């Protein structure tokens, strides 16, 4: 991977040390942010019984954003956790080619990192609920993002460094292979940024090509070569990804989400959503909303 192609920015949402019991039992959770766990005592299960990981003392776990998994604690589980939001200028994700649960043996420095994050960021816990879906609602998510501006700049920068150190631990895994980014021409990168910030508008190949003074056919060819997707396919996937985020992180209705993500009708939105995710928006909302 070309290190200069790394564009992800990570920011803290929440962090805490908790002691859980059998009430920590939630299925089919998907979050728009990363979750990192350090198990201090007890055991649990992250993922499905046949394909998940046992949460055990002395290990560190990473769940990338938009990774579907379940949580279960049979009896007792003590853990540190941090939840981290990833953002990038071109809409890519560091773990886009490997959205699965990662597990590594912890080291003494990991405990120091978690404790230091807690020390630098007081009041970032989720005492109201242990339900991993609860904190995905808009007021909580927005509130924790805002708290990053309420701490000293030195603490904010140090927190970012500690988060990067934790994530870097998983990048050293032999089986982790980050996607190889291509050096994207400025006009295509500009088009990607425009798409990501104008998903609610009518986006056509002709309009996108005209913005960068390209012929529509040539623009489509170049865009596809650097993104791996034809422009309209790329746009629809980004719209549905945005819709997934809005469904689990806000209280907007499905009709409002359809409008917010650029669909002319709820029926068209629903068909596209199911074609891409395998679920209707209603099914997706039912699975991932607070019970």
Look at residue 291 and tell me whether its pLDDT is greater than 50: no
Which band of pLDDT confidence, cut at 50, 70 and 90, is reported for residue 130? low
Q: Which of 143, 36, 152, 47 is nearest to 86 (CA)?
A: 36
CA 177 to the chain's CA centroid: 18
**What are the pLDDT digits (tens) for 200-227?**
999 999 999 999 999 999 999 999 998 8
> What is the rounded average pLDDT of the residues 71-85?
91
**What are the pLDDT digits (tens) for 2-37?**
666 677 889 898 899 999 998 888 776 767 788 999
Burial of 43 (0-12, 13-18, 19+ CB in 10 A): middle
Higher pLDDT, 219 or 184: 219
| Residue reference for tokens 């396919």 | 233
Predicted pLDDT at 149: 83
> What is the rounded average pLDDT of the residues 141-151?
73
Report the alpha-carbon distance of residue 290 to residue 124 in Å, rounded: 20
Domain locations in the chain?
Answer: 3-171, 186-288
Predicted pLDDT at 67: 81
> What is the rounded average pLDDT of the residues 176-187?
67
**What are the pLDDT digits (tens) for 226-282?**
888 899 999 998 899 888 878 866 778 999 999 999 999 999 999 999 998 888 998
Which band of pLDDT confidence, cut at 50, 70 and 90, is reported for residue 51? low
Look at residue 180 and tell me whether its pLDDT is greater than 70: no
> What is the rounded average pLDDT of the residues 107-125?
94
Predicted pLDDT at 50: 60
Look at residue 136 and tell me whether its pLDDT is greater than 70: no
Q: Which long-range contacts (CB under 8 A, 24 or more apart) does 102-107 make?
A: 102/61, 102/62, 102/63, 102/64, 102/170, 102/173, 102/176, 103/53, 103/59, 103/60, 103/61, 104/59, 104/60, 104/169, 104/170, 104/173, 105/58, 105/59, 105/60, 106/38, 106/39, 106/58, 106/59, 106/60
Claim: this prediction has a pTM higher than 0.75:
no
Higher pLDDT, 245 or 290: 245
Q: Are 233 and 276 in contact (CB under 8 A)?
A: no
- Quick one: what percent of the chain has pLDDT higher than 70? 82
Look at residue 138 and tell me whether its pLDDT is greater than 50: no
Domain 186-288 fold is Arc Repressor Mutant, subunit A (1.10.10)
Look at residue 290 and tell me whether its pLDDT is greater than 50: no
Q: What does the mean pLDDT of the chain come to?
A: 84
What CATH number should be reported for the domain whose range is 3-171? Answer: 2.60.120.280
């Amino acid at each position: 991977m070309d290190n200069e192609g790394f564009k992800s920015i990570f920011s803290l949402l929440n962090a805490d040390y908790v002691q859980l019991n059998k009430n920590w039992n939630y299925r089919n959770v998907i979050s728009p942010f990363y979750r990192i766990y350090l198990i201090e005592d007890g055991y649990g299960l992250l993922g499905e019984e046949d394909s998940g990981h046992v949460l055990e003392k002395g290990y560190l776990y990473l769940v990338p954003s938009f990774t579907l998994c379940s949580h279960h604690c049979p009896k007792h589980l003590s853990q540190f956790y941090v939840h981290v939001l990833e953002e990038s200028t071109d809409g890519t994700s560091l773990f886009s080619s490997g959205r699965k649960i990662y597990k590594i043996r912890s080291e003494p420095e990991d405990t120091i990192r978690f404790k230091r994050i807690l020390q630098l960021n007081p009041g970032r816990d989720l005492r109201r609920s242990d339900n991993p879906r609860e904190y995905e609602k808009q007021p909580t998510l927005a509130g924790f993002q805002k708290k990053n501006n309420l701490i000293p700049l030195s603490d904010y920068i140090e927190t970012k460094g500690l988060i990067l150190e934790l994530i870097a631990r998983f990048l050293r895994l032999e089986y982790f292979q980050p996607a190889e980014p291509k050096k994207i021409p400025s006009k295509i990168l500009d088009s990607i940024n425009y798409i990501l910030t104008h998903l609610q508008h009518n986006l056509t190949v002709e309009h996108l090509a005209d913005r960068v003074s390209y012929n529509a056919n040539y623009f489509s060819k170049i865009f596809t070569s650097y993104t791996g997707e034809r422009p309209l396919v790329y746009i629809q996937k980004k719209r549905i990804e945005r819709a997934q985020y809005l469904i689990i992180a806000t209280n907007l209705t499905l009709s409002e989400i359809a409008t917010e993500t650029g669909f002319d009708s709820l029926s068209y939105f629903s068909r596209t959503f199911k074609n891409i995710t395998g679920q209707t928006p209603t099914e997706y909302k039912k699975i991932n909303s607070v019970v």
